[in-house]
Structure 1
Amino acid sequence: MLSAYQARAAETEEGIAIEIWYVYTASMHQLVLKKWPSSKSYVFIRKWNQNFVKRRELKRGDKIGFYRDPYYSIFNFSVLERASAT
């Protein structure tokens, strides 16, 4: 999903700025993608909690989707399914 340059940049201390298109509100956001060395996992940082988790009222168990649009070099984000309330 990432170019070789982006993958290397995500492994740096700063990470790499990534544009994310939120499908439902047709709005663009910029987050930082970083690869944690300890777990080898990619995570979004800087405003992920504010712009996505809180704003979209995401809860544990919600299913979200990301896909990268190679033509525009952006990620698309959507909430696929809300967790059932218990």
Structure 2
Amino acid sequence: MKTPESSTSDVAHFVCAERVDVSTDLALYEDPWKIRKKLTGSDLSPLSRLLLPAGCLQTHVFPQMDKKMLRQVKSEEGMPVVGKDVATGRKHQFVFRCWKSTGSYVLNGGWTKEFVEEKRLKVGDEIEMVWVMSSRMFHFKVLHRAAA
């Protein structure tokens, strides 16, 4: 009877395993925070609107929405949505809409009062957000604060 040390099939198996190209990078999950925005003066103005990057919306938000939701976002009235601050758990009421004149997408209807003032956001601060279809809300967090 052969011992494990003398088994050629065990040695061959070990050698093959060494040659397999395997990543040793640890990846627990994909980063869900796909929408990032460095805040501008317009985003923080009393007009209470956050201009959203259209490319990110078309890639990460609109494919999750049904036709009815998309029509509502593109309508004059927009679509009421909730924005959740993940740091505090507080929920804020916004309106998600397309501005026909520019084709831009915005969150308004309480953006400044509900979120900007509470978080004391400044020009240059960077936020992240993700649309979660199961809860039908945007989740927000502050990624970086601008240097004072």
After TM superposition, the score normalised by the length of structure 1 is 0.89
- Out of 1-10 and 24-33, give the one that drifted further: 1-10
* CA distance in 1: counterparts of 2:73 and 2:93, whole angstroms: 14
* CA distance in 2: counterparts of 1:78 and 1:5, whole angstroms: 28
What amino acid is aligned across from residue 83 of structure 1 in structure 2?
A
TM-aligned CA deviation for residue 63 of structure 1: 0.4
Pairing of 1:14-53 with structure 2 (within 5 A):
14-53=77-116
Q: The residue matched to 1:55 in structure 2 has which SS? A: helix
* CA distance in 2: counterparts of 1:35 and 1:57, whole angstroms: 26
* CA distance in 2: counterparts of 1:34 and 1:70, whole angstroms: 17
* CA distance in 2: counterparts of 1:75 and 1:53, whole angstroms: 15
What amino acid is aligned across from residue 96 of structure 2 in structure 1?
L
Q: Which runs of no fewer than 5 residues in structure 2 stay unpaired?
A: 1-60
Q: Which runs of no fewer than 5 residues in structure 1 stay unpaired?
A: none
- Alignment pair present for 1:54 and 2:113: no
Q: The residue matched to 2:112 in structure 1 has which SS? A: helix
* CA distance in 2: counterparts of 1:56 and 1:28, whole angstroms: 13
The percent of aligned pairs where both chains have the same amino acid is: 34
Equivalenced residues, count: 85
TM-aligned CA deviation for residue 40 of structure 1: 1.4
Larger radius of gyration: 2
TM-aligned CA deviation for residue 71 of structure 1: 2.3
The structure that is strand-richer by fraction is 1
Displaced runs of 4+ in structure 1, greater than 2 A?
Answer: none
The structure that is helix-richer by fraction is 2
- Out of 32-41 and 2-11, give the one that drifted further: 2-11
Pairing of 1:5-16 with structure 2 (within 5 A):
5-16=68-79
Tell me the equivalent position of 2:139: 76
